Chain A
Amino acid sequence: MMSFNNVSDPRRQNKILRYKAPSTETNPTLEDPTPDYMNLLGMIFSMCGLMLKWCAWIAVYCSFISFANSRSSEDTKQMMSSFMLSISAVVMSYLQNPQPMSPPW
């Protein structure tokens, strides 16, 4: 049963196609690697942060940058765990050595 639309009306209900998210396997260049890199950097700096205070601070910054650039579909647990790890690195380094951070110059 065909409903005769107005000739000028280009809409066709029977021609509807559902949205399919573009596969990232075929086009790896389209995906932004920033959040993943920053996540990894954040974790590495968190580990180093137990020895050096400024590493712990950089880890916090990395986790913030990763969060800002992350996709909506990404798991929030991953983001939170990276963030918590960097905060704990800062806290632990100050508990171990409460002296203020000395500038590199």
Chain B
Amino acid sequence: MRSVHLLVPALLLLLAFPVSRGRYNDDFDDGEDIADFDDNDFAEFEDMNDDQEEEDEDEATVELEDGLDGFEDSEAQDQDMYSKYDQEEFEGIGDMEKGHSMKDPLIIHTVPAHLQNSWESYYMEILMVTGLLAYIMNYLIGKNKNSRLAQAWFNSHKELLESNFALVGDDGTSKEAVSTGKLNQENEHIYNLWCSGRVCCEGMLIQLKFLKRQDLLNVLARMMRPIGDQVQIKVTLNEDDMDTFVFAVGTKKVMAKLQKEMQDLSEFCGDKPKSGAKFGLPDSLSILSEMGEVTDGVMDNKMVHYITNNAEKIESIHFSDQFSGPKVMQEEGQPLKLPETKRTLLFTFNVPGMGNTSPKDMESLLPLMNMVIYSIDKVKKLRLNREGKMKADRNRARVEENFLKQTHAQRQEAAQTRREEKKRAEKERIMSEEDPERQRRLEEAAQRREQKKIEKKQMKMKQIKVKAM
């Protein structure tokens, strides 16, 4: 009985070995144990070779036929191999494989954009950089164009200016007053030129106000609303160089605007602008003048000739002994100060081309510079007659009085508010005083002060009355 007991586990062991080896090593599937192999290392492969020869023989025949047959044979061989083992051990394997494929379908995720090796996904960035490059290109081209236009203007006007002024070109920084002989660049679209050292004037500031060709945004805005380049000339004069009058001529639109905006034109030229046709000028121009005599004096034949020939280039011509620029908005609380005035001739010219300016257009402004020089000499000689002078003086006195009145009213208001503040502060002090004795004393002192003030005012009124009598 004991031997039977020993035999069963031994048999079981013997059976287990081939099964375990069969799963992992197909080479030994003919069912032989490893122990059965000889020391001869190749003995274990002898059967394999035989098998392979058998398979080759099978394959040799299979090649002539359909290729799948070879696989069918191998499948058949596998099945044969498996059939040698206990089929119970392989139950459920097929189901497991089927279960896997049902539970986990393959999901293909899209690769995130930044991990994609394509520049196409960065198209917004490429657009931005392209925009920046376009801006830089436009900056260089616009800056270059403005510079060329300025140089063209200066080259054509240099001779005339040098023959009229001792100093042509000054930036104010050098120690000695020496002509720089070139334009002073304020920024990429504004060029200045200061000329001085001439009879009849203190100096002349010429400003070439070009369009902002260097700024792409401005270029695009100008496509909607075209505007042109401008040249502004401001001549400052001494008291001896100009009599007292205010006069302006220019396009109707600009005259209406200047009359509202300019301090001196609004005060001294209150009447509506008159049409230039009355004085031999084109109808597109209108005149603002302090008095008729001034218009007749300024608009002589040569001046009319100059203006008529260059009417499309003239925006405004403004002569004034009371020039102080545009009206300045006064802050509340600050007393009105009489603005500083200067005898000035102000010329604003439009460069032809309306933005599409060429160097030749800049050169065509030369006759206008001749007109400016002529005007300087003209204004020196222009003197009002006695009546005109009296009228002009009366106008200036009237304006000054108005200013003082306004200032006075504002000053009074300010003084009143200050007095009220003081009173309030005193009252608060009195109320906050804890000691009743002190409170009473302070109140009495305040009352006495009030009384004194009232008495003083009464005395003044009496004095004024006596004087009036």
Q: Which residues of A approach B to under 8 Å, CB–CB?
A: 9-21, 26-27, 29, 57, 60-61, 64-65, 68-73, 98-103
Contact = CB atoms under 8 A, between A and B. Distances in A.
Closest 6 CB pairs of A and B: A19-B194, A16-B197, A19-B172, A101-B124, A19-B170, A11-B166
A10 B186 contact: no
A71 B139 CA distance: 14
A67 B351 CA distance: 26
Interface stretch (B148-156, B209-217, B287-295): B209-217
A98 B288 CA distance: 65
B114 interface: yes
Contacts of B328: 26
Nearest to A104: B124
B128 interface: yes
Contacts of A21: 172
B264 to A, nearest CB: 15
A13 B166 contact: yes
Interface in B155-189: 163-167, 170-172, 177, 184-188
B124 A100 contact: yes
Contacts of A98: 114
A61 B167 CA distance: 42
**A-side interface mostly:** loop
A11 B165 contact: yes
Contacts of A102: 124
B196 A70 contact: no
Contact of B212 (A69, A71, A73, A99): A69
Contacts of A64: 132, 135-136, 139
B421 interface: no
B214 A100 contact: no
Contact of B132 (A15, A61, A73, A99): A61
A100 B132 contact: no
B154 to A, nearest CB: 16
Given A16-B197, A68-B215, 19 more contacts: A10-B377, A11-B166, A13-B197, A15-B196, A15-B197, A18-B170, A18-B177, A19-B172, A19-B196, A26-B325, A64-B136, A65-B135, A68-B212, A68-B214, A71-B186, A71-B187, A98-B114, A100-B122, A101-B128
Contacts of A19: 170-172, 184, 194, 196, 203, 205
